[in-house]
């Protein structure tokens, strides 16, 4: 089948969020929180391009409030559950839980290659030496490398791909992507930790081009924050988000999963 069309997720300004689409991303809302299913092209933090250029800025405009508190964060190209607190007390409880590590996170990742069995990657990470990309990380044995632990569990392995459940036990920058690359199973669509890091630089400079189309099977990294579970004595809540449409389409068209199989993954605890 044809490759899914590229979506706008470059380092250039993203398209503005519209008032019509934002409510469709809400997966749960109450007096204290809004949980969004963030698409893979949306920036979390406010930017110079105005309130509708980021999720938290757009949410403030939508709710007509001066302050909302961003509890969790995701990279621009990572989709999935993102939590916003509506008031200071809700923000305090949830952020305290995050700081004290009373939180577990579950991701779904589509890996390039077949992971035969579950694996715990316990490999320290640090700055990627010699890379022209300043933000790039790597498995490292340097003195300043930091402990990084990630559990990968294959859910479906078909057609040269793996849909995996991923649980990070530490919270290092780009941790899942770095450990997937270390396994030799990079995340599909990853411009920085995939087949050629120059794809990232080219994308920043000129956007999607012929080399991206030739080397990447998806136009953004196939990483999705599926579940955010708070286990604080004062705050016990679970927030979840189903697969976004682009990842759902890839799973069906490229991996051969049925709608029922995808639903079983989404409904599993």
Residue position matching structure tokens 């799973």: 251
Report the candidate in 242, 225, 255 with the shortest Cα–Cα distance to residue 157. Answer: 255
For residue 36, count other CB atoms closer than 10 A to its CB. Answer: 28
CA atoms of 165 and 233, how far apart (whole Å): 26
Tokens of 158: 């078909």
Annotated active-site residue 144? The verdict is no
Residues ≥6 apart with Cβ < 8 Å to 175: 125, 137, 148, 150, 168
> In angstroms, what CA-CA distances link 161 with 154, 188, 250, 253?
10, 9, 11, 12
Single out the catalytic residue among 75, 122, 144, 190. Answer: 75
Give the torsion sign (CA, 86, 87, 91, 93).
negative
Positions marked active-site? 75
């Amino acid at each position: 089948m044809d490759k899914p069309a590229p979506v706008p997720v470059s380092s250039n300004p993203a398209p503005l969020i519209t008032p019509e689409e934002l409510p469709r991303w809400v997966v749960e809302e109450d007096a204290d929180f809004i949980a969004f299913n963030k698409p893979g092209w949306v920036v979390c933090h406010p930017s110079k391009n105005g309130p509708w250029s980021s999720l938290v800025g757009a949410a403030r405009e939508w709710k007509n409030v001066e302050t909302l508190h961003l509890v969790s964060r995701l990279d621009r190209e990572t989709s999935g559950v993102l939590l916003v607190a509506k008031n200071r007390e809700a923000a305090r409880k949830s952020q305290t839980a995050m700081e004290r590590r009373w939180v577990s996170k579950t991701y779904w990742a589509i890996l390039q290659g077949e992971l035969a069995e579950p694996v715990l990657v316990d490999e320290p990470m640090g700055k990627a030496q010699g890379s022209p990309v300043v933000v790039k990380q790597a498995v490292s044995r340097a003195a300043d490398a930091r402990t990084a632990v990630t559990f990968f569990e294959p859910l479906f392995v078909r057609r040269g791909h793996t849909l995996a459940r991923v649980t990070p036990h530490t919270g290092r920058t780009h941790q899942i992507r770095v450990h997937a690359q270390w396994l030799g199973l990079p995340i599909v669509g990853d411009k920085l930790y995939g087949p050629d890091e120059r794809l990232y630089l080219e994308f920043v400079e000129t956007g999607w081009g012929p080399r991206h189309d030739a080397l990447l099977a998806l136009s953004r990294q196939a990483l999705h924050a599926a579940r955010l579970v708070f286990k604080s004595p004062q705050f016990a809540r679970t927030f979840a988000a189903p697969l976004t449409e682009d990842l759902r389409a890839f799973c069906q068209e490229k991996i051969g999963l049925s709608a029922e199989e995808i639903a079983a993954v989404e409904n599993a605890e």
